Each structure stands twice: as C-alpha cells, then as structure tokens.
Amino acid sequence: MPPIRFANNETMTMRFNIILISVLLASCSSFSVPLLTPYKMDIRQGNYVTVEMRDKLKLGMSRVQVRYVMGTPLISDAFHGNRWDYVYRLEQDYKLVEQQRLTLYFEGDSLSRIEDSGLTTPAAPVVSEGK
C-alpha cells in the first residue's frame, strides 16, 4: 500500500486563494470588468404598432377588422371588455429605450375611441457599442 501524501502548505494556500478570488468575483455583481460582463440581450415585450397599422384604424371598425389590422391585444381585460390595450416596451442593457401604448375603446362591436400615447416614445438614447 502506497503511503498517503498530504498537500504542502504552498498548494493549500494557492487553492485557498483561487477559491477566495472566485467567490469574491461571483459575489460582486455590480463590479464590472469589460471582459467579464455577461451578454445582456434586448428584451422586446408586447405589440409593436407601426405607423401603417395606426393609419389603418378608423372609428366605426368592427372588432374583427381591428384584430385583423392590429393583431391580438396584449391586454384584454375581462372586467373591461370594451377596452383593448396594445403595449410595447424595448429594454437594452436593462434600460428602457422605447415604449408605446395604444388603447382602443369599443361601443358594442364598433371602435369608438382611440388613445395613442405616441407611436414612439424614446426613454433614453440608444448607444451602439464599438462606434
């Protein structure tokens, strides 16, 4: 049976230092080193409404016609069946870049009112990397 060898102090110290450094780096989420930052993907949520889609909306259109032009609304409240909300948000690097809100009101089956918060409301300028 071969003798049991224990690691010397230098090896144990190096292992301890490596573990300590890796734990410190993992726990410092606000610490950012350009080479070590994770990829942050763009987050698009909701219904993107184009100018062409908005221009096709006319008062008096039926719900079927509106759904054909705009698509299914993001928010269709069961308590307010006469209201459809089309909401869109774009986040880049966890910052809000663009936000839209279009609310359509119906009386019976026909479109009676349109509230538009603006087709594009930029919240912050888009900065491209590498330029």
Residue 33, domain member (yes or no): no
Counting the structural domains of the chain, the total is: 1
Residue 3, domain member (yes or no): no
- Can you read off the two tokens belonging to residue 116? 């538009």
DSSP string, 86-103: EEEEEEETTEEEEEEEEE
Is 82 within 8 Å of 105 (Cβ atoms)? yes
pLDDT digits (tens), the chain, 131 positions: 666 665 677 777 888 888 888 877 776 655 555 666 677 777 777 777 888 888 888 899 999 999 898 888 877 777 878 888 888 888 777 777 788 888 889 998 899 988 887 654 333 344 444 44
Domain of 104 in residue numbering reads as 43-122
pLDDT for res 22 = 81
Residue 81, domain member (yes or no): yes
CATH number, residue 117:
3.30.1450
List C-alpha distances in Å: 65 to 54, 58, 108, 119, 127: 13, 10, 14, 20, 38
Residue 37, domain member (yes or no): no
**What is the C-alpha to C-alpha distance for residues 96 and 92, in angstroms, rounded to an integer?**
7
pTM value surpassing 0.75: no
Residue 25, domain member (yes or no): no
What separation, in Å, do the N-terminal and C-terminal C-alpha atoms of the chain show? 65
